[in-house]
């Protein structure tokens, strides 16, 4: 199928005065060869954009849940090639946009230009590189920015306002605001200052702002949906898939969607 663009996915929700729901899963986890099926379930349960993690041996921005999922995915034989195969299989039956979420080294090893071309051909819409902050490698960043994939970038609580604006200007699709300093992983509470911080980031950004890191329950998702254009849920979903099986992922995402839509 032809995928919807990320802008359109956010636009549809915005017109409904609702927030986009962006679930994250690690490709190849919990079992190799089931990722396209899992993504199909998430799309059917109300995901607007899907983040698909490319597993890496040294996920230094991730907490225990995503570390474990990456380790298992690699043990199961997951590679950048098999991740793109899964995207292709998912795309044959769904128009929900996919953002590939990766550390830099596997992409550099694959060849960045080849990766950008192959990811696009497989049916991905966006790319987020955890360890490529603005200004780290201008030439490489420019090649991603000028590709036909949206370049999703992170903004942290430690990022100053002037830099937020520059990051937003060099991004497309949406801006990903990290809800707290730290690694990925479910947390019991959200920080009180989050609302004000998200307001500031949205003021500095002309593209939608999604919030992630630590959002793990339908209640938290609903609370963040009232602040931001999108809500990312990762570790809690990865753990659900691991502990309760493939179908449980879609059930969890449907519960998040219901809570975000007001009941």
Partner 1 sequence: MTVATETTRGSGRFGSFGGRYVPETLVHALDELEAAYAAATSDPVFTAELDGLLADFVGRPTPLQRAPRLGDAAGHPAVYLKREDLNHTGAHKINNTLGQALLARRMGKRRIIAETGAGQHGVATATACALFDMECVVYMGQEDVERQALNVYRMELLGAEVRPVQSGTRTLKDATNEAIRDWVTNVESTHYIIGSVVGPDPFPRMVRDFQAVIGRETRAQILETEGRLPAAVVACVGGGSNAMGIFHAFVADREVDLVGVEAAGEGIDTGRHAASLAAGAPGVLHGSLSYLLQDADGQVAPAHSVSAGLDYPGVGPEHSFLKDTGRASYTSVTDAEALSAFHRLARLEGIIPALESAHAVAHVLRDGRRYEDRGPLVICLSGRGDKDVAHVARVEGLGPLI
The residues annotated with a catalytic role in the active site are: 51, 62
Instruction: Name which of 74 and 223 has its Cβ closer to partner 1.
Output: 74
Query: With binding defined as CB under 8 A, does residue 110 bind partner 1?
Result: yes
| Dist CA 61 CA 73 (whole Å) | 17
Interface characters, 152-171, with partner 1 (x: CB under 8 A): -xxxxxxxx--x---x----
**Cβ density class 15-52: b for 16+ within 10 Å, e for less:** eeebbbbbbbbbbbbbbbebbbebbbbbbebbbbbbbb
* CA nearest to 176, candidates 205, 196, 219: 205
Give, as one character, the DSSP assignment of residue 261.
T
Structure tokens at 91: 């795309």
Query: With binding defined as CB under 8 A, does residue 137 bind partner 1?
Result: yes
Select the span of 151-159, 193-201, 215-223, 229-237 touching partner 1 (CB under 8 A).
Answer: 151-159
| Dist CA 35 CA 41 (whole Å) | 10
Select the span of 40-48, 99-107, 230-238, 248-256 touching partner 1 (CB under 8 A).
Answer: 99-107
Within 35-94, the residues that bind partner 1 by CB under 8 A are: 56-64, 67, 71, 74, 79-80
**Residues at the site binding partner 1, with contacts judged by CB under 8 A:** 56-64, 67, 71, 74, 79-80, 103-110, 130-138, 153-160, 163, 167, 178, 181-183
């Amino acid at each position: 199928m032809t995928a919807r663009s990320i802008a359109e996915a956010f636009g549809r929700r915005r017109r409904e005065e609702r927030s986009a729901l962006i679930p994250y899963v690690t490709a190849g986890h919990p079992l190799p060869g089931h990722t396209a099926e899992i993504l199909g379930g998430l799309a059917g349960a109300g995901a607007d954009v899907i983040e698909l993690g490319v597993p890496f041996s040294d996920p230094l921005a991730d907490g225990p849940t995503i570390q474990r999922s990456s380790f298992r995915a690699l043990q199961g034989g997951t590679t950048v090639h098999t991740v793109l195969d899964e995207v292709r299989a998912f795309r044959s039956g769904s128009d929900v946009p996919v953002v590939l979420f990766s550390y830099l080294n596997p992409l550099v090893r694959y060849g960045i230009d080849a990766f950008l071309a192959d990811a696009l051909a497989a049916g991905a819409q966006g790319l987020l590189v955890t360890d490529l902050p603005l200004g780290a490698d201008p030439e490489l960043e420019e090649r991603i920015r000028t590709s036909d994939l949206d370049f999703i970038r992170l903004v942290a609580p430690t990022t100053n306002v002037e830099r937020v604006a520059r990051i937003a200007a060099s991004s497309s699709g949406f801006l990903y605001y990290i809800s707290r300093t730290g690694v990925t992983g479910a947390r019991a509470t959200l920080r009180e200052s989050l609302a004000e911080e998200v307001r500031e980031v949205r003021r500095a950004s002309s593209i939608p702002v999604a919030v992630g890191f630590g959002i793990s329950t339908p209640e938290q998702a609903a609370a963040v949906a009232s602040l931001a254009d999108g809500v990312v849920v990762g570790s809690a979903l990865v753990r659900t898939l691991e502990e309760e099986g493939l179908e449980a992922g879609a059930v969890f995402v449907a519960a998040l969607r219901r809570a975000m839509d007001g009941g």
